[in-house]
Amino acid sequence: MPSYRFVTEWDVPAPPDMVFDVISDSLRWPEWWRGIKAVDELTLHEPQGVGNRRRYTFRSFLPYDLVFDMQVTRFEAPAALEGHATGELEGEGRWSFAPTPRGTHVRYEWDVRTTKWWMNLLAPIARPAFTWNHGVVMRWGEEGLRRRLGVAG
């Protein structure tokens, strides 16, 4: 399975606790994050705590959906959020939130492997398109987060 490492960084003019609260409430992502079609609760754990499992359905600019489950493995408000993905993407996702003089520095690390047969088959030639597609989704996320928080773009 081809593997990918993505690192996304945002500087958001809002305090870490506010940014963390919006990011950690992923059931509401489809309300503000373009490209996220659905987030479904799979467990009855604490709504946002360790052990929580949710199913994510993403569709970005390229015409295919990605569906994967994420189980929270670390929940330390307002500094860190981590999870383990299984499904059409498998791997680890890590959010970190650091205070800055102007708000919050957000860093997302996404270390994943694809499991869709056609993505694996096309990876040698389509990797740049898959990487670009991930960047589009994350830009939409930053734009939506800023709108949700009511802060300047």
Hunting for tokens 């994510």 — which residue is that?
56
Q: How far apart are CA 74 and CA 43, in angstroms?
A: 16
Calculate helix-pair angle for 117-149, 16-24, nearest 10 degrees: 140
Given this model, what pLDDT does residue 23 score? 97
Q: What is the residue extent of each domain of the chain?
A: 3-149
Phi and psi at residue 56, to the nearest 5°:
-115, 135
More confident residue, 50 or 12: 12
Given this model, what pLDDT does residue 61 score? 83
Q: Please give the mean pLDDT across all residues of the chain.
A: 94
Given this model, what pLDDT does residue 45 score? 63
Q: How far apart are CA 99 and CA 43, in angstroms?
A: 31
Domain 3-149, CATH number (from 3.30.530.20, 3.30.980.20, 3.40.640.10, 3.30.450.20):
3.30.530.20
Residue type at 113? R
pLDDT tens track for 65-86: 999 999 999 999 999 999 999 9
Look at residue 9 and tell me whether its pLDDT is greater than 80: yes
